[in-house]
Chain A
Amino acid sequence: MFLRRALRYRWAQALVLAGISLLIGTCAVFAPWFSRAVEQTVMTETLTSQAIPAAWKLSSQTGVETVGGSAEGDPKSLDALVPADLKALFTPPVHGMRSTLTWRVPTMIPKEPSVAGTLVWRDGYCAQLTVVEGRCPQRPNEVIASIADKTTWDFTVGSSVQGKPSDNFDGGAQLTVVGFYRPLQARGEYWFGQYPTGHSRSPSDLDAGSTDHFFADLSTFTGKTWAPRFSSDTRVIPGVARIDDLARLQDATDTVNGNATQLGLNAENTSSLSTVIDQIQNQRSQGRTIIPLVMVQVALFGVVVLALALGAVVDQRRPEIALSRLRGTSARRTARSLITELGIPVLIGTLTGVATGFGLLLIARATWLRYGAPLELPWTVPAALVLAIVIGLLVVILQVRGGVRQTISSLLRRVPPRGRGWAVGIVDLCIIVFAVAGLAAAATGDGRGPLPVLTPALLSLAVGLTFAHLLLPTAGLISRRAARSGRLGLALGALQISRRPAVTRIVAAVAVAGGLLAFAGQAASVGDHNRETRAGYEVGAQAVLRTNGLSLGDFTKAINQIDPQRQWFTPVVMSRPPAPDSLKTMMIEPESFRRVAYRGDQLTDPAGWQALAAPAIKPIEFRSSKLTMTAAISSVQQLENPLKGGPDYDPARSLVLRASVVSLRNGSRYLVSFPPLPLTTKQPVALTASVDCLGGCQLLQLGFGREVLDQGGVSANVAISKVSTETQPSLTLGTATDWKGVEHLGGDAGSITAKAGGLLTLSVKSFSDEQFLQFGTVPTTVPAVITPEFRYAEGTTTSPASDGTPMFVSKLSNSTGPVNRYPDRTAVVDLETVRRLGGGLDEFATDFELWLNDAGLARVDQLTAAFSKAGYSVELSDVRSERIASYGRSASALTLQLTPVVGIAAWALAIVVLLLTVVTSWRSRAQDYASLRITGVPAPLTGRAARWEQTGPVALAVLLGSACGVIGAQIALPLIPLFADTGGPYPLELSTNWPVAIGLWAGGTIVLAVVTLLLGTGVNRRASYSRIREELT
């Protein structure tokens, strides 16, 4: 009957209760909603970012001879492999035909090898090409070639080549070039990974040369000419395929190859969709772990605050409860009406939480999730709402029952009676015990389960409650001492604290809020920091440009022209071995790498950098077509075959002086053989050999080989007295110590050393294998920073660095950080050292990269143009900020974005508690101060007491809570998955972010101190004499 009036009279209280319930309701519905939306977004994002792995690439396993309309040769036949119920989830398939071919032009001499290439047709390919010249093919055997091929092979529109399929010797046709293209998007999704390579290479000593894709019309493949493979590429559409489709997609992906066999299609699916689905599931489970844990903390805090608020409200209603009981209303009935009165705002608030939760979801969807999730109502939302309502009403019932059950005489007292100062309520005790148990479990357990993640909230709750309960007797003690020492302001303030148990609520709530805020700050900042760090390590620098370099020499020349000071980038060349468990070679420029690469200076220590750099020895350079060495042989001694039971060879006849030179023109390495040096020669002999060094060469190695069938063992000293070229009458060879023997795997018992005498004297013991000394410009064993997980042993070699020859490396023990971008099985060596070593690199196993700093990234267009002008095509392959953004879209990052929201919500709740306590107690406090004024206590003194009675405990509670939050974060953060995978060697950096911790503590203290000071001032201002007689509450 009086419910409406009761609610209207205490509208502020109702509003506060509704507000807290609103927060609980919001958390309750938002958590499952957001969790679901994150799952959907993660799926959409993963499918988008991994478009190619998530695709179904159905292709025939072998070439078919009849195509273009016949059932078994029609790529459309592969479409049947996509289950009908999943077709809507896949893009329209892109059908294709391709045939590897070799081709020749009539001007080629017969012995000249054919050039390799690929003849391709795809649905709508012409729309994916920029036709630079000519047109797209329209008739059989017309092709459009890449612009790179035009340059390399001097093609013109109308040029024709005689093509032949690689695996069909009977087929082939004359192909006519009708145009030139450049891909519209070099790595566009249209290509499904089958994009034009951009590789066009003229023949060399090592290679017959190659062309980029020739695109042809479908009609070219009609007949039995090309025996092409056919394909049908399709991919799951992000945003259309949803979480609930995952299981069906997984099943379909797992069974598609079996279905192909059943359908008699000689085809297979090379999709990695199963792996992608696993990743999505993994991220889903992360989201399911983090979101509830984060939201449960704030929801639990909300429940605690609701309980505290209701406690304050029920305390304030004590006179009304007493009145009701006084008039004979039973405790049960009194409780029922009060439960109704307080339950209504709680119920309304919680229900309104659905709207705010939905609003938050819309905001999160529009901002964090970028509309990556559909609007839907998972069953967990109403379930969580019901749970929140039940919990909210349960708290109301418990608090009201606690209040109503007091005796009437107790209810009639103005200040609620309480036990002795050290008494702790059962509920508080349970909370403290639970929190301490949780903390102990977190600290001593295996770190699994939800308790450790709840540590910040539990710890701050336990500490806050303990502090709150210690506060009352302590404040009493302080009050008495301060009174004795004449500090009346402090005495009064402390006295007020000691006689008002309500302050314990504030202290506990503020401590929890401080803890949650500190934890939120740590979680958010540490998460951000790790995403940035990992992105930095993974990308390598601010950005990476990939170039189509072929040789170290040319590449070095180009980069030296474009950025000689390395202001914008550092070059990195990566050579990958064919075997995945072999050691890769990462070639860097130490000086610029330290400056430009992300944390490049942390790769190794100063001694490591010094060891890594190329030796500072001047190379032996010359330009000539002939190289002459004057040598004399002495101390000749025939040796027996050291292999017991081995064949007896004829006595050795000669030694063949050999030199290894590195061309400065193209970086290739040549082995130069001089005429044989007969062992019987007593006088110095001038030995001359032709060299391809008009463009300049560096002498790298000197050594000896043997003539054919001359396998007898011999030891001798060969003194080189003069080295000359056509243009240089004399070259120096450095000192004997500059020459070191080169190791050979599986070599015979021969050896070679250098010693003084002439320009250089070589002391050799030779059986049949070659023996070489290497000049000191390149160490014979190259120092390398080797990733720690690789089990290094002496004699370890890297992948072929040049000319297929393994490079011996010695592991530097000064590695101090992970290797950027290539953290596994990698040997980081000096680029200049490898360049001096010379030789050709495997084009398909080597990446030439430019790692950009911020300045370089800012001028990436100019750099691209400059490289293009130098004949290189460059592509921005990785950008750190994009990687950070990408990590920001992971389930972990998306869910951790909640933590600041949680911190702010916790802080808001603490302020609510503070306000509520003041709202419910200001009148009696004002009466107390008014009474004191009557007794002669001056207003400034009561003012000081009023201001500081809450500010002191609150400030201390913020400090304790913040400390608990920071400590709790140290326990909880290692258990929160910051990334979908472990991150391999990149370490998580979970140390406390002190600026954030201190900033939040200081900010929190200031905010609450200002609030409490203002409220205290307000209370003191209202402490008028008339207040003493005021009775109506």
Chain B
Amino acid sequence: MSGLAISTTGLVHIYRAHGHDVAALSGIGITVRPGELVGLLGPSGAGKSTLLQLCGGLLTPSAGRLQIGEHNLATMTEAELDRMRSGDVGIVLQGAGRNLIPYLSPLDNVRYAQQAAPRDREVPAPIDVLELVGLREHASVALTALTPGQVQLCAVAVGIATMPGLLLADEPTSQLDHHARDEVLAAIRTINHRTGMTVLLITHDPEVAAALPRTITIRDGRIAAEGRSGEEYAVVATDGSLPLPPHVAELLPAGTLVQVTIEDGQVRLSPVDQEGSS
């Protein structure tokens, strides 16, 4: 199966904490093309995991549109979401162990993950899935015998057990040494490359981010920036707003009047005083 596109428009998610409504996402609009490998960046609490869980159908959007391939998640029932997760969307949770059944071998974990796949869906042999992540030789060992990196690879294998169109991975490279991290990243790239599977992964690691073809930075529930092959860009939102990068925002504190001009095809931001003089 080829990758699934992700498209969100004005995506809002509000949750209730201690009697107050808190907006985890405030009008996110992103588009991920089928087969893209995208990293989600941002500080803790920015809304990355919320976006990932929304994409996985684990949370319901409070407002806005969220389209995964043909699925409009905002209107799907629980059963439809189950069906979507059983074949079209794979999820790798943060913390490799949370993705695995502790008493099953890697092979059986993959098998377990394939159980719910729709009958009409062709799922690969579990051993082939493990081969894809480089765990073929460890297919039948106990999880406790694996290294942390191998456990994470196993978690990734479980996430792609049904060869979904979209893989959502929450910090798959965290808590790993560099070697293991690179192995996991390489495995994800391989999967993306060989299967055309769309991959959306969260990372805090700048090196990992730099290695990804595209990154989206989320801050305060909004898209703060996008990166392309290591270069970061601000993104104009659908409402025309433009979140400033942190180092620019330091120069232009909140409330600053900014004169926006176009000179020679370039947009220029010039702070002015309260009277309007530069």
Contact = CB atoms under 8 A, between A and B. Distances in A.
Interface of A: 1-2, 5-6, 8-10, 319-320, 323-331, 333, 407-409, 412, 1029-1033
Given A327-B161, A408-B58, A1032 B100 contact: yes
A326 B161 CA distance: 12
19 contacts: A9-B103, A320-B101, A323-B100, A324-B116, A325-B85, A326-B56, A326-B85, A326-B91, A327-B86, A327-B115, A327-B158, A328-B84, A328-B85, A328-B117, A331-B82, A333-B116, A407-B58, A408-B58, A1032-B102
B181 interface: no
B47 to A, nearest CB: 14
Given A327-B116, A329-B116, A1029-B175, 6 more contacts: A1-B111, A1-B115, A2-B108, A323-B101, A328-B162, A1033-B102
Given A328-B84, A408-B58, A1029-B175, A319 B98 contact: yes
Contact of B96 (A320, A323, A1031): A1031
A330 B103 contact: no
Q: Which 4 A-B pairs have the closest CB atoms?
A: A328-B86, A1031-B97, A9-B103, A328-B85
B85 A412 contact: no
Interface centre among A323, A324, A325, A333 (most CB of B within 10 A): A323
Nearest to A412: B93
A95 B56 CA distance: 95
Contacts of A327: 85-86, 112-113, 115-116, 158, 161-162
Name the interface size band of chain B: 35 or more
A323 B104 contact: no
A1 to B, nearest CB: 7
B120 interface: no
Contacts of B112: 2, 327
Interface in B13-65: 53, 56, 58-59
Interface of B: 53, 56, 58-59, 78-79, 82-87, 91, 93, 95-104, 108, 111-113, 115-117, 143-144, 158, 161-162, 175
Contact of B93 (A2, A5, A326, A1030): A326
B49 to A, nearest CB: 10
Nearest to A5: B103
A2 B104 contact: yes
A126 B23 CA distance: 107
Nearest to A328: B86
Instruction: Name the prevailing secondary structure of the B interface residues.
Output: helix
A755 to B, nearest CB: 105
Contacts of A326: 56, 58, 85, 91, 93
Nearest to A325: B82
Contacts of B143: 1032
A29 to B, nearest CB: 34
A6 B112 CA distance: 12
B153 to A, nearest CB: 15
Given A412-B98, A1031-B95, A5 B116 contact: no
Given A323-B98, A327-B161, A330-B79, A409 B86 contact: no
A648 B257 CA distance: 150
Interface centre among A327, A328, A331 (most CB of B within 10 A): A328
Given A412-B93, A1029-B175, A328 B101 contact: no
A1032 B98 CA distance: 7
Contact of B59 (A324, A330, A331, A409): A409
Nearest to B161: A327
B103 A6 contact: yes
Contacts of A407: 58
A1033 B96 CA distance: 12
Interface centre among A407, A409, A1030 (most CB of B within 10 A): A409
A320 B99 CA distance: 9
A1032 to B, nearest CB: 4
Contacts of A8: 103
Contacts of B162: 327-328
B110 to A, nearest CB: 10
Contacts of A408: 58
Contacts of B98: 319, 323, 412, 1031
Contacts of B97: 1030-1033
B238 to A, nearest CB: 27
B86 A329 contact: yes
Contacts of A1033: 97, 102
Contacts of A328: 82-87, 116-117, 162
B157 to A, nearest CB: 12
B82 to A, nearest CB: 5
Contacts of A412: 58, 93, 98
A327 B82 CA distance: 8
Contact of A409 (B58, B102, B116): B58
A6 B10 CA distance: 44
A333 to B, nearest CB: 7
Nearest to A326: B91
A2 B101 contact: yes
B181 to A, nearest CB: 16
A251 B245 CA distance: 103
A412 B97 CA distance: 12
A330 B102 contact: no
Contacts of B144: 1032
Given A1031-B96, A1031-B97, A329 B102 contact: no
A333 B116 CA distance: 9
Contacts of A1: 111, 115
Interface centre among A325, A330, A408, A412 (most CB of B within 10 A): A408
A198 B177 CA distance: 106
A5 B105 CA distance: 11
A1 B96 CA distance: 23
B73 to A, nearest CB: 13
Nearest to A333: B116
A326 B93 CA distance: 9
Nearest to B144: A1032
Contacts of A9: 102-103
A488 to B, nearest CB: 25
Contacts of A330: 79, 82, 116
Contacts of B116: 324, 327-330, 333
A136 B91 CA distance: 105
A324 B161 CA distance: 13
A323 B108 CA distance: 14
Given A323-B98, A1031-B98, A1032-B97, A329 B115 contact: yes
Nearest to A319: B98
Interface centre among A2, A5, A407 (most CB of B within 10 A): A2
Contacts of A1029: 175
A412 B85 CA distance: 16
Contact of A331 (B78, B91, B95, B96): B78
